[in-house]
């Protein structure tokens, strides 16, 4: 399976990584990055490993998510032999504040 990062997901990932480094240091940022890479490897081998995300249950496309750390999760969908990473979700935010961002996929 191929993994395709959507632009918004890449931007969110970088923003979260910078925030983690600023607040908790370089080692914490590296740990976060490693967890994301491990999640990618797991998804390549088992694309449906993530939980079906209830926040997106009303969509035509089935979105799944994987918890990366206590503050964020990675939202993705499987389509045409590819895994599309569509968002990184800040778990501290109100669900309706971010739910509309994956509509374009």
pTM for this entry: 0.81
Looking at residue 94, what is its pLDDT?
56
Task: Judge whether 28 and 19 are in contact, CB under 8 Å.
Answer: no
Measured at the CA of 71, the angle between CA 10 and CA 50, to 5 degrees, comes to 70
Looking at residue 93, what is its pLDDT?
60
Looking at residue 103, what is its pLDDT?
47
Which domains are assigned to the chain? 2-92 (3.30.2310.20)
Looking at residue 102, what is its pLDDT?
47
Which mean pLDDT values do the consecutive 10-residue runs of the chain (105 residues) have? 94 92 95 96 94 82 91 92 90 56 48
Looking at residue 30, what is its pLDDT?
96
* Structure token digits, residue 21: 């480094």
């Amino acid at each position: 399976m191929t993994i395709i990062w959507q632009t918004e997901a890449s931007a969110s990932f970088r923003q979260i990584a910078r925030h983690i480094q600023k607040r908790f240091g370089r080692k914490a940022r590296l740990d976060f990055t490693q967890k994301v890479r491990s999640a990618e490897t797991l998804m390549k081998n088992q694309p449906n490993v993530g939980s079906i995300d209830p926040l997106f249950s009303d969509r035509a496309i089935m979105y799944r998510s994987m918890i990366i750390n206590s503050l964020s999760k990675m939202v993705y969908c499987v389509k045409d032999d590819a895994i599309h990473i569509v968002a990184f979700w800040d778990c501290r935010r109100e669900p309706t504040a971010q739910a509309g961002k994956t509509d374009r996929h």
